[in-house]
Structure 1
Amino acid sequence: MRLRTVLATVTAGLAAATCLTAGPAAADTTENHACSPSVTLDRFSDALDGTMYRGAFVGNLSALAVDRHGDLAALSDRSSVFTLDRRTLRPTGVVRLADENGTALDSEGLVVDRDGTRLITSETEPSVRRYSRDGRILDRLPVPPSLLVAPAGRATGNQTFEGLTLLPGGDTLLASMEYALSGDAEGIVRFQTWRRTGSGHFRLAAQYAYRTDDGLGVPEVQATPDGRLLVLERGFTSGVGNTVRLYLADPRHATDTSDVEKLTGQPGVHLIRKTLLTDIATCPSLGATAKQPQPNPLLDNIEGMTITGRDARGRLRILLVSDDNQNAAQTTRFYYLRARTDGRQPTAP
């Protein structure tokens, strides 16, 4: 999304991309790259910053997914999906997207389903549509009325479906709202789920509530192999820069809030539990430079995330990407992380 200012301070195919390094980071070992006791930064890459492919700007990247062939699908919020080579990040394909009327999307969340089709959110309405690999609309999922942008619902424009992920087993789809609905307590955002039917469509299912840190929103969410969630929280302060934190969360014991009209901290509503894995500002900069003030020059408007597999020690390999908003003061940057989640139990927020 085009990030508003707020008062706040990953298949194993990509694992083979170890040739992608940045500056002085090439000579370092990952053991020296600790961001926290749970997370290390292997490297980063600015290889796609400011590039073009077949007349399309390779930027504005809001979501990542690994396709069935091990290549990377990268979603632009300007209504395009790029295919990137898993080793070099070099674009090898682009598909333009549109809604039923041929209008471009504000495309934010991406899932590559098991048949290769793409499930994609647009935060304009918001919506979730299924697209063929060549960009044809195949299906559109139902959305609860309250999650629609006002006046149809209680959501605010440009603050709706940002994250999208399939839970283990592939039968439950989850989308995360970025910010709270009107009438809900500030910082409490809703996560909507759908269940796959026997015909392959998705029907509305449970909804959960998640509390963000003060002033932060949720730009991305990814399911871990054990059914928990990696949740990105992000904000921006003019003159200071970005805040980006990575949480491990567990929705499995949270209350279904589908029938709770307004979430105001009432008793009996159990929120998704979360625990901090790392604040990206605490990662080593590895020689990164920033085009605008940042708490750490490594930081930018990080918005996309996918899990690409596990390393030999069982740590999740996670790939992040920043959305440059096609802005000269920002960078399209990929971040290669490893995260230890075994034994970490999310706690009540």
Structure 2
Amino acid sequence: MRPRNVLATLAAGLAAAACLTAAGPAAANGATSHACSSTVSIDRFSDALDKTTYEGTFVGNLSALAVDRDGSLAALADRSSLFDLDAGTLQPRASVHLADEKGADLDSEGLVVDRDGTRLVTSETEPSVRRYSGDGRLLDRLPVPSSLQVAPAGRATGNQTFEGLTLLPGGRTLLASMEDAISGDTTGIVRFQAWTRHHGRFRLAAQYGYRTDTGLGVPEVQATPDGRLLVLERGFTAGVGNTVRLYLADLRHATDTSGIENLTGRPEVHLIRKTLLADIADCPSLGATARQPQPNPLLDNIEGMAVTGRDRTGRLKVLLVSDDNQNAAQTTRFYDLRVRVPIVAEG
């Protein structure tokens, strides 16, 4: 299930060059011609890190991204590796191995770089959220509701738990997104769990329901500067390929579902509101190629996302990454998007 044979390390210069050339014909001022929708455009993509290694560690299986305090990128692999990437070239500058309390590997999926530089990391195994120092030392572990734990301890399905993790503006609220529904909830309604910070420690807080499109799950969630959420929804159909959609979600007016045993679509339970920003299949392909059938050769198993800043017009700069699953038929690919977030309406 987890092959260990990898390709030899590519020279840094070659990989850096690939980072610049893999984008195809994208131009810095051509975002309007690279529209995916009325609110989202793609600047470029890069396959620079595909099937490479860094100091003997495979650089792939990437499941989450975060901006570090020095402006570099933290990239989390779901095989318990955390990389520090140069934000310009994407080249690895360092890597650390993460482990649980018993020294075992994680199924590491979600990542936040906290304001003090510590790393908050989810693992789908239990699921869990743990805090690590910058050098990978385990610091502590956050509480998780029993209902969200994998059966038989709880009602979640293995490999369908905490995929996304984000810190809301102000740094007081942490939010994790389940990938799929737990037993007893209607198919397609997933739970988002929040923690609030008290005296430096995160405690369990509200929980919310979010309805995905049919057949899709939630691999990532990221807060916008105004406190709303960018939510990735993703699915895969053999012989057809991936579906990846980007939504804007709003927690305001959503019901706290932490005390509701079963989410079955009752009208008095208000789910998180969402608005489609773009279907990534509608983006221009920019000359990308795919190793398996895809609705658009640009697509792959997109799983990680980070908001990296704003451009001069106020659009959010959003970086996506695909998880190649260390599979020859898939690609580690980075995508540079620009997202114009609609102004929040009052009420």
Q: TM-score, normalised by structure 2?
A: 0.93
Match of 1:37 in 2: 38
Shift, 1:342, TM fit = 3.0
For the structure 1 residues 345 and 280, does the alpha-carbon distance in structure 2 shift closer, same or farther, using more than 3 Å as the test? farther
Counting matched residue pairs gives 331
Structure 2: which amino acid aligns with 1:291? Answer: R
* Structure 1 stretches of 4+ moved >6 Å: none
Structure 2: which amino acid aligns with 1:130? Answer: R
Give CA deviations for 1:275-321 in whole Å, capped at 9, x if unaligned.
00000000000000000000000000000000000001100000000
Structure 1: which amino acid aligns with 2:201? Answer: H
Is the CA contact (8 Å cut-off) linking 2:232 and 2:245 kept in structure 1? yes
CA–CA separation in structure 2 for the residues paired with 1:227 and 1:56: 36
For the structure 1 residues 311 and 90, does the alpha-carbon distance in structure 2 shift closer, same or farther, using more than 3 Å as the test? same
Q: Secondary structure at the match of 2:297?
A: coil
CA–CA separation in structure 1 for the residues paired with 2:41 and 2:327: 28
Structure 2: which amino acid aligns with 1:162? Answer: E
Is the CA contact (8 Å cut-off) linking 2:26 and 2:43 kept in structure 1? no
Match of 2:173 in 1: 172
CA–CA separation in structure 2 for the residues paired with 1:128 and 1:119: 7
Match of 1:67 in 2: 68
Match of 1:87 in 2: 88
Match of 2:214 in 1: 214
CA–CA separation in structure 2 for the residues paired with 1:244 and 1:223: 18
Match of 1:306 in 2: 306
Q: Secondary structure at the match of 2:140?
A: strand
CA–CA separation in structure 2 for the residues paired with 1:97 and 1:136: 8
Q: Secondary structure at the match of 2:183?
A: coil
Give CA deviations for 1:11-43 in whole Å, capped at 9, x if unaligned.
xxxxxxxx7352532457222100000000000
Is the CA contact (8 Å cut-off) linking 1:22 and 1:286 kept in structure 2? no
Give CA deviations for 1:115-173 in whole Å, capped at 9, x if unaligned.
00000000000000000011111110000000000000000000000000000100000
Match of 2:337 in 1: 337
Which is bigger in relative contact order (C-alpha 8 A, separation at least 6)?
1
Match of 1:16 in 2: none
CA–CA separation in structure 2 for the residues paired with 1:280 and 1:104: 32
Is the CA contact (8 Å cut-off) linking 2:81 and 2:97 kept in structure 1? yes
RMSD of Structure 2 on Structure 1 (CA):
1.8
Match of 1:321 in 2: 321
Q: Secondary structure at the match of 2:180?
A: coil
Match of 2:203 in 1: 203
Q: Secondary structure at the match of 2:281?
A: helix
Identity over the aligned pairs, expressed in percent?
Answer: 78
Is the CA contact (8 Å cut-off) linking 2:27 and 2:43 kept in structure 1? no
CA–CA separation in structure 1 for the residues paired with 2:131 and 2:37: 37
Q: Secondary structure at the match of 1:25?
A: coil
Q: Secondary structure at the match of 1:146?
A: helix
Match of 1:275 in 2: 275
Question: Any residues of structure 2 matched to 1:51-66 within 5 Å, and which?
Answer: 51-66=52-67
Shift, 1:243, TM fit = 0.0
Is the CA contact (8 Å cut-off) linking 2:127 and 2:162 kept in structure 1? yes
For the structure 1 residues 131 and 297, does the alpha-carbon distance in structure 2 shift closer, same or farther, using more than 3 Å as the test? same
Structure 1: which amino acid aligns with 2:306? Answer: T
> Gaps spanning 5+ residues in structure 2: where?
3-18
Q: Secondary structure at the match of 1:20?
A: helix
Is the CA contact (8 Å cut-off) linking 1:167 and 1:227 kept in structure 2? yes
CA–CA separation in structure 1 for the residues paired with 2:54 and 2:127: 28
Is the CA contact (8 Å cut-off) linking 2:24 and 2:288 kept in structure 1? no
Structure 2: which amino acid aligns with 1:311? Answer: D
Structure 2: which amino acid aligns with 1:294? Answer: Q
Is the CA contact (8 Å cut-off) linking 1:20 and 1:43 kept in structure 2? no
Shift, 1:344, TM fit = 6.0
Q: Secondary structure at the match of 2:24?
A: helix
Structure 2: which amino acid aligns with 1:143? Answer: V
CA–CA separation in structure 2 for the residues paired with 1:345 and 1:123: 35
Structure 2: which amino acid aligns with 1:254? Answer: A
Question: Any residues of structure 2 matched to 1:1-349 within 5 Å, and which?
Answer: 20-22=20-22, 24-26=24-26, 29-198=30-199, 200-343=200-343
> Gaps spanning 5+ residues in structure 1: where?
3-18
Shift, 1:266, TM fit = 1.4
CA–CA separation in structure 2 for the residues paired with 1:50 and 1:179: 29
Is the CA contact (8 Å cut-off) linking 1:248 and 1:346 kept in structure 2? no
CA–CA separation in structure 2 for the residues paired with 1:21 and 1:164: 31
CA–CA separation in structure 2 for the residues paired with 1:47 and 1:274: 33
Shift, 1:95, TM fit = 0.4
Shift, 1:267, TM fit = 2.6
Is the CA contact (8 Å cut-off) linking 2:23 and 2:45 kept in structure 1? no
CA–CA separation in structure 1 for the residues paired with 2:316 and 2:93: 26
Give CA deviations for 1:52-109 in whole Å, capped at 9, x if unaligned.
0011000000000000000000000000100000110000000000100000000000
CA–CA separation in structure 1 for the residues paired with 2:191 and 2:150: 14
CA–CA separation in structure 1 for the residues paired with 2:209 and 2:223: 16
Shift, 1:345, TM fit = 5.7
